[in-house]
Amino acid sequence: MDSTPTPRRFDVIFDAEGRNTGKFRNNVTVHLRGSHAQSFELPTDEGGGHGGDGTAPYPLAYFASGLTACIMTQLRAFARRLEINVTDISVNTRCHWERWQTGNQPYESAPVAFTMDIELGGGASEADQRRVVEAAQKGCFVEVSIKPGVLKHRLKIGDRWIDV
């Protein structure tokens, strides 16, 4: 008889309401639904080169921040669950897109590559550090929403970077 416990399923639902309040300024209210409901105000704007006034972070700044913070949260949470000593976490993320435009037509964009350089303090073995990163990759909601193959990870082991 299989003694593997049945996974518990739960839904994580966010709703966002955006309102344009300036040239390119948007005020977005994000609501976490469910038993721990919360709401957050997240303003966005574009810089002058795109027609905005630069009064708030660009929308893509939230994306890069969300991706970075999500993996950092999962690294911390899963290190504890896997009982792997992780003291400090450092993540540097680069999100690279390309865009092209013909004349004055709307431009198109595509992801080129997203990379994350991860450093885990605490002296855990390379195998344990890999286990933590691999678990965090599967548990990060932002990451699992990105087209497969776009996001790459590197883990710093000593003085070298390895692909994870």
- Tell me which amino acid residue 108 is: E
CB 76 within 8 A of CB 89: yes
Q: What is the pLDDT of residue 61?
A: 96
pLDDT along the chain (164 residues), means of 10: 84 95 96 96 94 95 97 98 97 96 92 95 97 97 87 91 92
Contact (Cβ atoms closer than 8 angstroms) between residue 76 and residue 86: yes
CB 78 within 8 Å of CB 136: yes
pTM of the predicted model as reported, rounded to 2 decimal places: 0.87
- Model pLDDT, residue 71: 98
Contact predicate 22/53, CB 8 Å? yes
Domains in the chain with CATH codes: 10-57 (no CATH), 58-101+108-164 (3.30.300.20)
**Are the beta carbons of 78 and 71 closer than 8 angstroms?**
no
Question: Please, are residues 114 and 95 in contact by the beta-carbon 8 Å criterion?
Answer: yes
pLDDT at position 149, please? 80
